[in-house]
Amino acid sequence: MSREKIDGQLFSYTGPAFHYINEEERHFFAKEPAQFRVNLIGCGMIGMEHMRVATRVGRSAIHGVFDLNERSVKVAKEEFAKITDEDFKVYDSLEAACNDPEVDGILICTPNFTHLDVLKVAIKSGKHIFMEKPMATKLEDAYEITKMAKEYGAVLQIGLQYRYKSIYSEAIHEVLERKAVGEVKMINIMEHRIPFLDKVNQWNKFSKFSGGTLVEKCCHYFDLMNLFAQSRPVRVYANGSQSTNFRDFEFKGEKSDILDSAFVTVEYENGVRAGFNLCMFAPMFHEELLVCGDEGRVKAAEIEDFSENARLRTEMEVFCGQNRPSKTSQPSYPKLIEASGHNGATWFEHIAFADQMAGKKTNSATVEEGFWSVVVGCAAEESVKTGKIIEVAELLKSKGIDL
Ligand SMILES: NC(=O)c1ccc[n+]([C@@H]2O[C@H](COP(=O)([O-])OP(=O)(O)OC[C@H]3O[C@@H](n4cnc5c(N)ncnc54)[C@H](O)[C@@H]3O)[C@@H](O)[C@H]2O)c1
């Protein structure tokens, strides 16, 4: 699909202003037929975001859904009708949704603890698969998925979509492609945000279902860390606690046990050091990345403070001293793309999935990268639990993982 067509499609969502033009007379606003059809497994919060974004991007049409929760299906159906006239097919089993011959791909958007079991069914179809992050809650399961992926002949993309946020996309360009900071030595990432949101059966309040906060949420940041370090993690130390959120929360007689704040340090094989700082009781979303190299420093931040009329704020600084030009900027995507989900990251993740289905190489997260993001998260959770420095090789060995 051409850039012109995508732009036209974007603008046509601004309202019905041009709907009076007959379909056959449209050019800029003409909708090209979708190249692919995909089924959605799990239509909760992120499933519906994928449904909206896939439909708007237009490369992959949502063919049908499967979800265990009737209410999720009902709401998804209502939302789908607002964005397209296409039929909304509801499957009555996972097997049926995965094996429909009319479908090219499967989007797995179920809770973390279900990923491996759902994938085992999906993979039998031989279809292209997109699976949400974190790929698993436990190292053993994440490793099993890497083994399944090695033998898989179709696409298996992991939903580590933060790479596509405008600030990180620009930072990746500056640090890894343009080498603006020279050789990377130190990485610092911070996320301050509001508490975890409600979920079906509140799975994200329990480590056994989510893998723990440092796996569930923070795998995005550990993926970025691993990417900027261009190396494997050797040693992880973390401290953290459930200091504020959900301390009195109980669901079906069980108390929540998830961290809401932590400091994590990671040492890499190539000597890069990295730090991560999490606070989940801040009245805002604030992410910040600092990458320092021997020739410069990149800072990238994304801030949403909920003030009336405030638009997403981004900041980017590339300071290179006497080595090369320095600059400051505010990376962004068109407002409609940013509003479509995760500040535009979901949009570009979908384009990458369609590109991969079309046989193009992309920079979306591979299963191996998904695995290493879970490794850092699990090591950090273990370190918080034991108070010890975790040697990654020993942790992997203790789980029977022989790389
Ligand atoms: N990429 C991101 O930034 C991002 C953001 C949010 C969530 N996620 C991930 O997406 C996944 C889903 O999260 P969510 O926030 O949408 O959760 P959610 O609870 O809002 O929705 C999950 C949906 O899956 C359904 N479901 C549960 N088990 C199922 C099964 N075995 N088969 C079919 N349907 C099933 C539930 O009924 C629910 O409708 C998680 O892995 C989460 O970590 C990723």
Tens of pLDDT along 133-164?
999 999 999 999 999 999 999 999 999 999 99
* CATH code, domain carrying 144: 3.40.50.720
Q: From the CB of 372, is ligand 1 less than 6 Å away?
A: no
* Residues near 402 by beta carbon (within 8 Å), at least 6 away in sequence: 396
- Residue 132 CB–ligand 1 contact under 6 Å: yes
Residue range 262-289: mean pLDDT, rounded: 98
Pairwise CA distance, residues 157 & 130, whole Å: 5
Residue 110 CA to residue 42 CA, distance in Å, equals 5
In a domain, 85, yes or no: yes
Ligand 1 mean position, distance from CA 39 (Å)? 14
Mean pLDDT to the nearest integer, 9-13: 68
State if residue 72 touches ligand 1 by the CB under 6 angstroms criterion. Answer: yes
Cα 197 to ligand 1 centroid, rounded to whole Å: 12
Residues 102 and 173 in one domain: no
Domain boundary among the residues 161, 190, 220 is at 161
Q: What is 340-386 written as a DSSP string?
A: TTGGGHHHHHHHHHHHHHTT----SBPHHHHHHHHHHHHHHHHHHHH
User: How confident is the model over 46-66, as pLDDT tens digits?
Assistant: 999 999 999 989 999 999 999
Q: Strand locations in 249-324, DSSP E?
A: 250-251, 254-255, 261-268, 273-279, 285-293, 296-304, 313-319
**Ligand 1 contacts CB of residue 50 (under 6 A):** no
3-state class (DSSP) for residue 143: helix
What pLDDT shows up at residue 306?
85
Give the confidence band of 1 by pLDDT, cuts at 50, 70, 90. low
Same domain, 217 and 157: no
Of 246, 236, 233, 198, residue with least CA distance to 214: 236
253 located within any domain: yes
> In this structure, are 254 and 322 located in the same domain?
yes
**Measured in angstroms, how far is the CA atom of residue 162 from the centroid of ligand 1?**
17
How would residue 15 be classed by pLDDT, with cut points 50, 70 and 90?
Answer: low
**How confident is the model over 223-236, as a mean pLDDT?**
98
What distance in angstroms lies between residue 374's CA and the mean position of ligand 1's atoms? 17
| pLDDT at residue 6 is higher than 90 | no
> At 172, is the pLDDT very low, low, confident or very high (cuts 50, 70, 90)?
very high
What length does the chain have?
Answer: 403
**Which of 125, 144, 161 is the C-terminal boundary of a domain?**
161
Mean pLDDT for the chain? 95
Atom number in ligand 1 closest to CA 117: 31
Task: Report pLDDT for 13.
Answer: 62
Probe ligand 1: pick from 40, 48, 50, 67, max atoms within 8 Å of CB? 67
Measure the CA dihedral 197/202/206/209, to 10°.
Answer: -110
d(CA 79, CA 40): 14
List CB contacts of 232: < 8 A, sequence separation 6 or more. Answer: 226, 268, 269, 372, 392
Ligand 1: residue of 41, 46, 251 to mutate (most ligand atoms within 8 A of CB) is 46
Same domain, 97 and 227: no
Same-domain status, 89 and 187: no
Q: How many angstroms does the Cα of residue 399 sit away from the middle of ligand 1?
A: 26
- Whether 357 is in a domain gets the answer no
Q: In this structure, what DSSP letter does residue 166 have?
A: H
Cα–Cα–Cα angle for 183, 318, 266, rounded to 5 degrees:
45
Name the one residue in this structure whose structure tokens are 């606070």.
Answer: 279
Return d(Cα 297, Cα 326) in angstroms, integer: 10
295 domain residue, yes or no: yes
Cα(113) to ligand 1 centroid in Å equals 10
Atom in ligand 1 nearest the alpha carbon of residue 71: 39
Does 220 lie in the same domain as 155? no
Q: pLDDT tens, 307-318?
A: 877 778 999 999
Ligand 1: does its nearest atom lie under 6 Å from the Cβ of 8?
A: no
Q: Do 36 and 107 fall into the same domain?
A: yes
The CB of 260 under 6 Å from ligand 1? The reply is no
pLDDT at 403: 84
> Is residue 403 in some structural domain?
no
**Three-state DSSP class for residue 4:** helix
**Residues 138 and 169 grouped into a single domain:** no
> Are residues 95 and 177 both part of a single domain?
no
C-alpha of residue 10 to centroid of ligand 1, in Å: 26
pLDDT of residue 159: 98
Ligand 1 within 6 A of CB of 199: yes
Number of domains in the chain: 2
Residues with Cβ < 8 Å from 389, sequence gap 6 or more?
235, 236, 237, 383
* Residue 200, ligand 1, Cβ within 6 A: yes
Same domain flag for 278 and 385: yes
Distance in angstroms (rounded) separating the CA atoms of residues 123 and 129: 8
Task: Using the predicted structure, report yes or no on whether residue 335 has a pLDDT greater than 90.
Answer: no
Taking only the tens place, the pLDDT of each residue in 342-365 is 999 999 999 999 999 999 999 999
Q: Band of the pLDDT at 75, cuts 50, 70, 90? A: very high
Same domain, 191 and 173: yes
Q: Is residue 356 part of a domain?
A: no
Give the type of residue at 64.
Answer: G
Q: What is the mean pLDDT of residues 28-45?
A: 92
How many angstroms does the Cα of residue 181 sit away from the middle of ligand 1?
38
Q: Residue 278 belongs to what domain range?
A: 162-334+367-398
Q: How far is CA 339 from CA 63, 66, 285, 332, in A?
A: 23, 26, 15, 11
Q: DSSP readout, 307-337?
A: -TTPPPEEEEEEE-TTSS--EEE-----HHH
DSSP for 24-93, written as a single string: GG-STTPPPPPSEEEEEE--SHHHHHHHHHHHHH-SEEEEEEE-S-HHHHHHHHHHHHHH--S--EE-SS
Cβ–Cβ under 8 Å, residues 153 and 393: no
10: pLDDT confidence band, cut at 50, 70 and 90?
A: confident
**Is residue 350 situated within a structural domain?**
no
Structure-token pair, residue 303: 């801030």
| Spatial contact of 205 and 258, defined as CB atoms under 8 Å apart | yes
- Quickly tell me which residue has 């979509």 as its tokens: 161
> Of 161, 184, 202, at which residue does a domain stop?
161
State in Å: Cα 41 to ligand 1 middle. 9
Statement to judge: residues 327 and 204 lie in one domain? yes
Q: Which residues contact 1 (CB under 8 A, 6 or more apart)?
A: 32, 35, 58, 59
CATH number assigned to the domain comprising residue 277 = 3.30.360.10
Neighbouring-strand partners of residue 285: 304
Does residue 263 belong to any structural domain of this protein?
Answer: yes
